[in-house]
Amino acid sequence: MPLVRIDHGKQHPLGFGKAVGDIVYRAMIEEINVPADDKFQIISTHDGSELNIAPSYLGIEYSTGIVFIQVTLNAGRSFELKKKFYHRITDDLSAGLGMRPQDIFISLIEVAKENWSFGNGEMQYGPAA
């Protein structure tokens, strides 16, 4: 059910976005109980002028290597699960891809289950019609 959007600059090597996506997908399965094969990701690469951010926020200094990860998912996961999820992604991206933890920006968008259609114009998770 999660829909993941990954946005990064062109300075990253070819295949970088997919590698980020694979790490996020593994964290979703192992930390927030997403079922296997529930993988829907949109990966976009941008020119430097298309990522417009402040150099710092909340004491965090950003670089041009920043990556935005936005996950739309069903509502209901606990505060603690979300914290573990953020840490897992950051730890794995740092270890696996050498990313600076400061450049990993994660946003969750929680929606009700009836707000999904996975095809055929059907509401697979909604109440029976």
Strands (E), 34-90: 40-46, 56-57, 60-61, 67-74
User: How many CB atoms lie under 10 A from the CB of residue 101?
Assistant: 11
pLDDT at 128 exceeding the cut of 70:
no
Q: Map out the domains of the chain with their CATH numbers.
A: 3-115 (3.30.429.10)
Task: Give tens-digit pLDDT for 55-106.
Answer: 999 999 999 999 999 999 999 999 999 999 999 999 999 999 999 999 999 9
Q: Which amino acid is at 92?
A: D
35 is a catalytic site residue: no
The pLDDT of residue 1 is above 80:
no
Of 2, 35, 101, 127, catalytic: 2
pLDDT digit string, tens, across residues 20-53: 999 999 999 999 999 999 999 999 999 988 999 9
Q: Please check the confidence at residue 129 and state whether its pLDDT lies above 60.
A: no
> Residue 41 corresponds to which amino acid?
Q
